[in-house]
A and B are shown apart, each in its own frame.
Chain A
């Protein structure tokens, strides 16, 4: 089942001599439960691609369909609500809310919907993340690896169709990096969530189903051309 479909995505920064084509007619599609990795040099356009897919940034042309809905056709507010219900974000520098404890940070997207979280689901996620005994800790009291696990929990709590991870292991040691990768794989395999991850580390791509490379704004699927 096709979850994500990207069509002819173009993104341009600046104009005239300062013009930079960050994305050039990028197209790809991903199925439910697929784990994709995007690699590329710094400034190649990886993060721009992820931001456009997640609706954080607007493309100059092209479309992004998630579960059949074109996110660029939505208004700002609608897109925000759609994002928190259908896309989970994981950032390199975690971006946890410092005033909320581990459990509150994880259920934060649900709280934004003014919904009462399912406690069993929260307990399950905490268990999977290995943070049960840290649920009342504030982000400042956690290690980098633990903080990133909280960020993963926050990305998974709404059972989003798509999880976007931008260098999730960039700030972590090797053991923590492996833990994060295991969790993302689990999300893909166990919960059938589509995961698209940006990484610099080619070793990490071994766990991905598909690997894409972005070079100067153009996307190719390694071992074959993407759709």
Chain B
């Protein structure tokens, strides 16, 4: 031993057990921070993969002319640039292949790198103006191959011949609109309609900026340089948001929430480490007193405590980071198992450097900050404390335990918890902190369930509809379709628009079968669903300024006459938008009713829409079979929308969001869990000498356990109460902002969230008491009372 600080290592060897708890706290805090930041990082990566797949990796698009395009390309911050033009985007301009509307895109080859979804499945990119790439859908329906030729009619009456050089996957939009897609190079596109495509309004320059470039600043500069208006600049909002480069108000709010979240996690980590270090120091008051007695200055004691804390970091921080990384791997593995196709880009063994840095910083900084107060306290220990043998290991007591209300063991337990106001407030607050976090972020789950509508049980894979909104799909067709291989469910909906006599407003009425009513059950805000199923009235759909309140009667003009029916309830929302041609101002309402009532009101028994849900293993040929049947039964006037790609994308986004949100809730629950266990273990360790004396006087192990239980329950009950007092209003405010304002669902006490977190806390209490109970049972009375 050459230096007084060498005592740290010698002391550490002697006090392995005592230090283990503090190390564990640091490991846990670092683990939690690493997991949270790692999960957030992986979530951003997975969302980025989704975003790039669905929207492309471009950052901004500029509608500029060729000259400006050349200047844009020369800008230093531009990494990649590609021209893109589209004709017949809305599929009504008359570009047709064999009579079917075809979207024609022209772009530079570089654009393929920005749009992974447009990747060629076979063949090559067109080299000259007579070459083209077709989408899979066109290839299948036209029965053509690479090397064949197709003819396309233009609105000008010309027939253009194209040699097929390659095939590309359908985009979600093409599949949904059952459209053909043809891709030309920019020269071919120019040749198709030179006068149109040369205009700046038709050619968009997609740009990918260099790394670390301030994209918003670059966009502002480019807009100013070329005098572009807002409509001439597009931003890839999702990608920019995920790059933290967005200026959108809503996204800035999300950044703010993320920052608050990160701060809360860091605070939780600081709480844990500080509490454990305080307790560790408090247990060794006499040791520090002895150091002071032997001549150590206050500064030397502070240095001793700090160096000791940093020594713990040496092993605890790497352990926490490694455990955190492993946890993130497990979560990424889960995502890849859930949806291998969508998350193949997500690294299973990826390391999030942000998470590692956050874990290290939180670990080191927190330990150093947390060591400040105990170090100062240790330095203040009077040398007399060591020699008097009178050092209180417990904080000074100011009031007496109440042995009149409780039995003495329970009374002492309650007093141990509530004796020191400061300690009581700290521990109770840290317990409440978990509940507040849990309740606050529970609303994100509600938000997710509402926001990701296509993920609902009712989401169709194939959406077959009459474009003119007439109920001409035969009502028995769903029964026919369901028998086809690959079909899981088929269900139809009638559609009718009624005018309300008097105020002239419009009411859109949709018919539901029993299955759709079953799905609507969760959206019912008020009223009686069964009455609607029985055809006694309609369920209105919530909307701002909705005049069709539950319990009211409504008279509609139908078929030249007027019919009256009643509103028997209100639904928060339906997964369908208002009709395309409907007036969607506040004068338009929506309601759903049974098929029977719909028939009575309209005199029609067909459907406007037929939804088909497919089995997971349904093939494209099975889908084609269904299409043929539909065309046979309904003629050409029926539109066929394949939503499988879109559903898959949304499902992927939803999976990753679910894993992130539920994972986050699990981590919050873990914080609460370990916090309770840790606090109680610390408290028991600090009072071990007192417990020894009590055992000597005649307190049984069972009575001591009851005392620890009393202490734990006091913290927990008050923690839950405080958590509810702050957490419930916060939950209400967040729910109203995130859900009520958009979907109308009224806030109610989040029963299951409360139940889950209280259950977790009670489980933690049991475990928290079990550890010390074992310790107390093993305790040797003689050693305990003669210690120090």
Contact = CB atoms under 8 A, between A and B. Distances in A.
Given A57-B782, A99-B397, A89 B696 contact: yes
B700 A80 contact: yes
B697 A47 contact: no
A97 B699 CA distance: 12
B785 A112 contact: no
B698 A104 contact: no
Interface stretch (B12-20, B360-368, B411-419, B548-556): B411-419
A91 B785 contact: yes
Nearest to B390: A93
Contact of B690 (A56, A76, A83, A97): A97
B740 to A, nearest CB: 48
A99 B699 CA distance: 16
A167 B397 CA distance: 26
A98 B690 contact: yes
Contacts of B394: 98
Contacts of A109: 697-698
A100 interface: yes
A80 B698 contact: yes
B172 interface: no
Interface string A49-80: 00100101100000000000000000011001
Nearest to B781: A56
Contact of B397 (A83, A93, A98): A98
A80 B692 CA distance: 12
Interface stretch (B35-43, B96-104, B401-409, B525-533): B401-409
A46 interface: no
Given A56-B696, A98-B392, A111 B403 contact: yes
B400 A81 contact: no
Nearest to B409: A112
A171 B780 CA distance: 24
A21 interface: no
Interface centre among A57, A84, A85, A97, by most B CB within 10 Å?
A97
Contact of B782 (A51, A84, A140): A51
Nearest to B784: A56
Contacts of B696: 54, 56, 83, 89, 91, 95
Interface string A144-166: 10000000001000000000000
B407 A111 contact: yes
Given A77-B701, A93-B389, A56 B401 contact: no
Nearest to A87: B698
A54 B403 CA distance: 27
Given A93-B390, A99-B416, A140-B397, A83 B693 contact: no
B694 interface: yes
Contacts of A80: 695, 698-701
A104 B702 contact: no
Contacts, number: 90
Contacts of A84: 697-699
B400 A112 contact: no
Contacts of B703: 112
A77 B694 contact: no
Contacts of B694: 97
Interface residues of B, number: 35
A78 to B, nearest CB: 10
A154 B403 CA distance: 16
Interface in B666-717: 690, 693-703
Nearest to A89: B696
A49 to B, nearest CB: 12
Contacts of A47: 786
B697 A108 contact: yes
A90 to B, nearest CB: 11
A208 interface: no
A64 to B, nearest CB: 15
Interface in A105-142: 108-109, 111-112, 114, 136, 138, 140
B1 interface: no
Given A99-B419, A100-B401, A81 B698 contact: yes
B782 A104 contact: no
B781 to A, nearest CB: 5
A7 interface: no
Nearest to A84: B698
Contacts of A98: 392, 394, 396-397, 690
Contacts of A51: 782
Given A104-B401, A138-B400, A99 B700 contact: no
Nearest to B694: A97
A194 B48 CA distance: 83
Contacts of A56: 696, 781-782
A109 B694 CA distance: 9
B778 to A, nearest CB: 11
A11 B208 CA distance: 83
A101 interface: yes
Nearest to B396: A140
A97 B389 CA distance: 16
A91 B408 CA distance: 22
Interface string A29-61: 000000000000000000100010010110000
A175 to B, nearest CB: 18
Nearest to A76: B701
The 8 lowest CB-CB distance pairs between A and B, nearest first, are A84-B698, A95-B693, A111-B408, A99-B401, A98-B397, A99-B415, A56-B781, A101-B400
Given A109-B697, A144-B390, 5 more contacts: A84-B697, A100-B401, A104-B401, A112-B698, A114-B408
Interface of B: 389-390, 392, 394, 396-401, 403, 407-409, 412, 415-416, 419, 690, 693-703, 780-782, 785-786
5 contacts: A56-B782, A80-B698, A83-B698, A98-B690, A138-B398
